Structures are given as C-alpha cells and as structure tokens.
C-alpha cells in the first residue's frame, strides 16, 4: 500500500481555448474538472496500473467538498484533514491555435492550516497502514517545518519507506529528515545541489551529490529527455520514446506513480524506472494531470530504454 501525502491538493480545471475571430478574443470550448494535487494525481496513476494506495492531506470549504465527492467516485481511498479556507484551484490552459505549445498551469496558493490542524494531519498519516509513504507537491502557506520533518521521522520509525517529491520551501525540511528516496525535477535538483543541469550527465552529477546526504535513491526527471537515477547499487539513465505531447501537466506525478508502483510490486529499480518513464510519457498524450490509459502505458513500456552506467563515470 502506498500513502500519498498531499498537504495542498487542488481542483484542476483544464481549459481548451479556441479563437473564433481575429484578435485576442478566445472561448473555452472544452473543460475538464478533476481532483488534483501531485499525490492525488499519482494515486490515479497507481490505480490505473492496478496498485493499492490511499490519499491524505488537507481539504477545505465547498471546493474541498467537491474534491472529496469526485475522489469518492474514483474509488481511491482517502483520509482528509479539514481546515478553514478553501481548497485551491489550478487551471491548465491549452490553446488550439498553438498545438505545438505545452499547456500553461496557473495555481492558487491554497488555505493556511493551523499548527493544530497539522498535528491532526500527522496523526492521520501515522494511523494509516502503508509500506511506502510519499510527501508530494508544494506546501500550504506558512506550514510548520517541524511538523513536516516530524512526519518523515515518525514514518521511518514505523518502518515505512519514505519518499519526497516536493519543491521550494518544503524541500529543505524534508531533506533534513533524510527520507529513503527523493524524486525531483531538474530545476529543483539544480537549486539544492548547486549544479546547473542541462543534460543527463550534469543531472547525474547532481544526483550523486544529493546521494551524499544519506539518501538511498535519488531520481531526477528531465522532461521529454527522460530521467536519471542514482543509488548505492547502481546508476541509470531512462529514455522514453518520442511522442507528440498534448499536455505535460502532471507527467511528473504519473512518473512517481509508475516508480512507486514498480517498487511495491517488487520490481528492480531499473524496471521501476522504466514503468515510471512510460507512465509519465503516457500522461502527456491526454488531458488531466496524472491521468493516462493502461493501453498507452503498455505500448510505451516496451519502447522505453533503461541503461545502467559504470559507477565510476
């Protein structure tokens, strides 16, 4: 069982725009509304792959009720902690007049949770039985660093394999607690490692430096180029097949889903990375963060290349 901890989930609106006359006036011709947030998106990916997972995090207000109702219909288990304020909205915009351009994602900040509400979330997380727990996505405004670190430390004491896929202010306290694994994108890895990442070789250099902080596995995603991974047992590069992407929003979340599904299925890290890249690529073929079809995943899986490198490189 995988627990996806998403302190700041969202309602994701995907808008497809179409110009009907000359000038800047555009209309939304299609809208897709989904429960979202990095961990929620990853949970949908795990469900598609046939795995078991549960979502925890904060919800608030009428948007939170709507989010919960859609999660209930999805069949994915959840244990939400309710806060004052409203669950944030995120809008992904696709412009049909520029088919070669990726979607633009605009996100609200989300509600601020009190220290007491964070303590309630911590209790909920620790009472949820799981083999792997992943802290996912950005943090709500004014979050307490001590609670975030405490969650990871407590999970480790329970024997849970902890992963982190967060960014900005939330990344530092998570790393201070030394989780088992870290999955981040190139921009985030460059910021915390101090190494400019512009290709797989520089990403591997960054991953090796981060591994020195006592992490067990570091995975850095590189968009359509693929990903790199470093552990004490090996170094890998992952290259997905080329596709005509529709929207990359949520592809990193789908990547996380494939990676952790592989690990819980007792697959090797190399095979888990192959699943991750195939899921992330499949996500880019359709609208909706973290959503992909099993058929697309299976087609891409066989075309995804994983290479183990010499450790001394």
Residue 156's DSSP bridge partners are none
Confirm if 46 and 67 have CB atoms less than 8 A apart. Answer: no
**Which tokens hold the place of 300?**
């891409």
Q: Is 80 helix (H, G, I), strand (E, B) or coil?
A: strand
pLDDT at 249: 83
Q: How many CA atoms does the CB half-sphere of 81 hold within 13 Å?
A: 25
pLDDT in the model for residue 108: 87
Average pLDDT over residues 77-102: 85
Rounded to an integer, what distance in angstroms lies between the CA atom of residue 93 and that of residue 67?
A: 20
By mean pLDDT, which of 48-57, 86-95, 173-182 is the weakest? 86-95
Q: How far apart are CA 76 and CA 262, in angstroms?
A: 19
Describe the crossing of helices 38-49 and 251-264 by its angle, rounded to 10 degrees.
50
Q: pLDDT tier at 16 (50, 70, 90 boundaries)? A: confident
Q: Which residue has the tokens 């110009």?
A: 19
What backbone phi and psi angles, to 5 degrees, belong to 228?
-130, 155
Cβ(80)–Cβ(57) under 8 Å?
A: yes
For residues 207 and 232, give the distance between their C-alpha atoms in angstroms, rounded to a whole number.
12
Q: What is the pLDDT of residue 312?
A: 44
Angle, to 10 degrees, between the axis of helix 61-74 and the axis of helix 38-49? 10
Report percent pLDDT > 70 for the chain: 94
Of the listed ranges 25-39, 46-60, 115-129, the least confidently predicted one is 25-39
pLDDT of res. 86: 95
d(Cα 260, Cα 253) in Å, to the nearest integer? Answer: 11
Instruction: Enter the DSSP assignment of 246.
Output: S
Nearest to 128 by CA among 28, 60, 39, 213: 39
Is the predicted pLDDT of residue 23 greater than 80, yes or no? no
Do residues 173 and 142 make contact, with C-beta atoms less than 8 angstroms apart? no
Summarised one tens digit per residue, pLDDT across range 223-280 is: 888 999 999 889 999 999 998 877 788 899 999 999 999 999 999 999 999 999 999 9
CB 292 within 8 A of CB 164: no
* Greater pLDDT, 94 or 58: 58
Does the predicted TM-score (pTM) go above 0.95? no
pLDDT at 21 > cutoff 60: no
- pLDDT beyond 50 at 198: yes
- pLDDT tens-digit profile of 170-184? 898 999 999 999 999
pLDDT, mean of residues 35-64: 96
Q: Which domains does the chain have, with CATH numbers?
A: 2-10+36-88+111-309 (3.40.1190.20)
pLDDT in the model for residue 162: 97
15 beta partners: 31, 93
Question: Token pair of 56, please?
Answer: 């925890």
pLDDT digits (tens, 9 = 90+) for 79-88: 999 999 999 9
């Amino acid at each position: 069982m995988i627990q996806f901890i998403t302190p700041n989930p969202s309602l994701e609106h995907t808008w497809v725009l179409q110009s009907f006359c000359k000038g800047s006036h555009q209309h939304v011709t299609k809208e897709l509304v989904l429960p979202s947030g990095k961990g929620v998106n990853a949970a949908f990916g795990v469900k598609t792959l046939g795995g078991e997972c549960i979502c925890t995090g904060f919800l608030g207000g009428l948007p939170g009720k709507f989010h919960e109702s859609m999660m209930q219909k999805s069949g994915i288990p959840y244990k939400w902690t309710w806060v004052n304020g409203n669950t944030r909205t995120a809008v992904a915009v696709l412009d049909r007049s520029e088919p070669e351009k990726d979607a633009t994602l605009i996100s609200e900040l989300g509600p601020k949770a009190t220290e007491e509400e964070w303590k309630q979330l911590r209790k909920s997380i620790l009472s949820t039985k799981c083999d792997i727990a992943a802290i996912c996505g950005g943090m709500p405004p004014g979050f307490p660093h001590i609670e975030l670190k405490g969650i990871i430390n407590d999970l480790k004491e329970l024997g849970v394999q902890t992963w982190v896929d967060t960014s900005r202010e939330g990344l530092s306290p998570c790393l201070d607690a030394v989780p088992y694994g870290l999955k981040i994108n190139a921009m985030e890895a460059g910021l915390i490692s101090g190494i400019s990442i512009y290709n797989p070789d520089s990403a591997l250099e960054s991953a090796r430096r981060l591994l020195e902080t006592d992490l067990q596995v570091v995975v850095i995603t590189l968009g359509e180029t693929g990903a790199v991974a470093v552990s004490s047992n090996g170094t890998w590069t992952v290259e997905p097949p080329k596709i005509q992407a529709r929207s990359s929003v949520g592809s990193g979340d789908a990547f996380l889903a494939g990676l952790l599904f592989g690990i819980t299925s007792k697959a090797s890290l190399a095979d888990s990375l192959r699943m991750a890249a195939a899921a992330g690529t499949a996500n880019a073929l359709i609208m909706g963060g973290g959503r992909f079809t099993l058929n697309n995943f299976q087609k891409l899986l066989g075309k995804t290349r994983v290479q183990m490198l010499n450790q001394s490189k």
